[in-house]
A and B are shown apart, each in its own frame.
Chain A
Amino acid sequence: MEKIPASEITPEHLYFTRRQFIAAASAVAAGALLSACGVPSPPPTARPTIAQPSPQASKGVDELGDKLTPFDTITNYNNFYEFSLDKEDVAPRAKDFKTSPWTVQVGGLVNKPRTFGLEDLLKFEQEERIYRLRCVEAWSMVIPWLGFPLSKLLAQVEPQSKAKYVRFETLLDPKQMPGQRDSYFDWPYVEGLRLDEAMHDLTILATGLYGKPLPPQDGAPIRLVVPWKYGFKSIKSIVKIDLVEAMPISFWMESAPNEYGFYANVNPDVSHPRWSQATERRIGEFSRRKTILFNGYADQVAPLYAGMDLRKNF
């Protein structure tokens, strides 16, 4: 009997996308209804509000009143070296990237190691989070993500007391990711967070944006989003998450240790060794804007770094 390749048997995936599409569509419809009824928008709060079904996105601004970056821009201007070094070439090259079946192996110093299928990850309640994304290259966007707090996933695997850091790894598949054939870089892409950063409520695993499943070029099917850190910390297309004792060495730390540190917190006063981080260009705007400490999330995350020298721990 001929063996049917695993790639042919993916009903879960089909179920999932259909279900997610319906959920997204109803969210959009509900949002439209709400705004059509003239429901007054809630007063801006310092905390990005959970939006279900998405009153924030229908407002089209983040909690600071900054406009959302258009979907087309978010999906056509991407730093994703696995596909191309050219930000505008990532989308066409990632077009046929296969995101199902997909599993994320969660292990290391945990009591209940587990491999999650994408369908398992989508069972976590998906919420909308509107976050600013500040790239280390001094440009920024405002993105309405769909996802869930990483803390919820970590709670399920029960980190042991020895675990101090979380290490993330991107898929290694040079056949699909042409950039990985370039041995100039040290693949696969690796990132890390301190456990308390990983457990912070602002830290999410994103599975979508603008109410739609994540497009490949934005890190499909699941990526990290840490809004107070430079964009490169928000690792894409994750296949492995490990709880570890020692600080992980990230892709960028490995490549240029004196330029890219482990923390990579957005900070206008700590410049990159070669360029200033004092200002940024919000994509779509003409003038530069001043960069804000912790990308505007200082109220929530500054306590994580109390007493730390942010210049040394860049």
Chain B
Amino acid sequence: MLHALRTQWLRVVVHIGAWIPFAVIVWDALTNQLGAEPIRETILRTGKTALILLVLSLACTPANTLFGFKSALKVRRALGLYAFFYALAHATMFIGVDYGFDLALLQGALLERPYALVGAAAFLILLPLALTSTKGWMKRLGRRWTMLHRGVYLAALLVIAHFVWLVKLDVREPLTYGAIVLLLLALRIRLIREGVVRLRAL
């Protein structure tokens, strides 16, 4: 048990940690602490959580290649799937609760203005990634699996655009996430990656 905890601690942290934002939303909803606009608040919180989990999932590979942090690879899929589930909750709240499945209204909200459209595009990219996240699909797709799953970077960039376009004026927070995503993306480029590894070896 102790041994398992020592080797599996990161998994424990991820699986417990990922549920905490959900639990807090449920608790706040039950105790009426979601504020004056509970629907909007829930949409914002699930969206933010999805983004954070997505960024963490992107950090796993560089954590291993650059710092030899192998356990990170073991939680990468879980982080990605949790990110997807929060994104699913986010989209469902927007379409089903905020807009009450009113297609005419949704059409206006989605097609007329870019921010919702870009969010929807990011979600549609994440969907097949979530569906093909199993070992079976990994084997079946082989090299194409890797290609397909590189789409996560495109999704992440679209999510950043979605966030930047959503705020009224102060874009500092979304741009901070954007900088992190770009950094993580840069670390995947071989030249940069090898440079960093060499620097560390010095």
| Most A C-beta atoms less than 10 A away, residue of B35, B109, B113, B169 | B169
Tell which of A271, A273, A278, A281 touches B39, judged by Cβ atoms closer than 8 Å. Answer: A281
Tell which of A76, A85, A273, A275 touches B116, judged by Cβ atoms closer than 8 Å. Answer: A275
Interface segment out of the listed A18-26, A52-60, A97-105, A283-291:
A283-291
On chain A, the residues within 8 Å of B105 by CB distance are 278-279, 288
> Of all chain B residues, which has the CB nearest A74?
B36
B79-101 with Cβ < 8 A to chain A: 98-100
A76 touches B169 (CB 8 A): no
> Of all chain A residues, which has the CB nearest B102?
A288
On chain A, the residues within 8 Å of B100 by CB distance are 287-288
Alpha-carbon distance between A73 and B32 when the two chains are bound, in angstroms: 13
Interface string of B111-131 (1 = CB under 8 A from A): 011111000000000000000
B117, chain A: closest CB distance, angstroms: 10
A274 touches B36 (CB 8 A): no
B169 touches A256 (CB 8 A): yes
Q: Interface residue tally of chain B, by bracket?
A: 20 to 34
Interface flag for B77 (CB, 8 Å): no
B121-178 with Cβ < 8 A to chain A: 165-166, 168-170, 172
Interface flag for A272 (CB, 8 Å): yes
Interface flag for A139 (CB, 8 Å): yes
On chain A, the residues within 8 Å of B108 by CB distance are 276, 278
Alpha-carbon distance between A160 and B126 when the two chains are bound, in angstroms: 62
Tell which of B35, B98, B112, B170 touches A276, judged by Cβ atoms closer than 8 Å. Answer: B112
Known pairs A137-B168, A255-B169, A288-B99; A276 contacts B109 (CB<8 A): yes
Question: Main SS of chain A's interface residues?
Answer: loop
Interface string of A232-247 (1 = CB under 8 A from B): 0000000000000000
On chain A, the residues within 8 Å of B35 by CB distance are 77, 87-88
B37 touches A281 (CB 8 A): yes
B113 touches A276 (CB 8 A): yes
A63, chain B: closest CB distance, angstroms: 23
Interface flag for B40 (CB, 8 Å): yes
A229, chain B: closest CB distance, angstroms: 16
> Of all chain A residues, which has the CB nearest B36?
A77
A180, chain B: closest CB distance, angstroms: 14
Interface string of A257-298 (1 = CB under 8 A from B): 000000000000001111110110101101110000000000
| Most A C-beta atoms less than 10 A away, residue of B37, B116, B168 | B168
Interface string of A39-56 (1 = CB under 8 A from B): 000000000000000000
B164, chain A: closest CB distance, angstroms: 9
Alpha-carbon distance between A288 and B95 when the two chains are bound, in angstroms: 12
Known pairs A184-B172, A279-B105, A288-B99; A274 contacts B40 (CB<8 A): no
Interface flag for A136 (CB, 8 Å): yes
Interface string of B25-45 (1 = CB under 8 A from A): 000000000011101100000
For this complex, 16 residue pairs linking A to B, each with C-beta atoms less than 8 Å apart, are A87-B35, A87-B36, A88-B35, A88-B36, A184-B172, A272-B113, A274-B115, A274-B166, A275-B109, A276-B108, A276-B112, A278-B108, A278-B109, A279-B105, A284-B36, A286-B39
The 6 closest A-B pairs by CB, nearest first: A77-B36, A274-B165, A276-B109, A275-B113, A283-B36, A274-B115
Interface residues of A (CB under 8 A from B): 73, 76-77, 85, 87-88, 136-137, 139, 184-185, 252, 255-256, 271-276, 278-279, 281, 283-284, 286-288
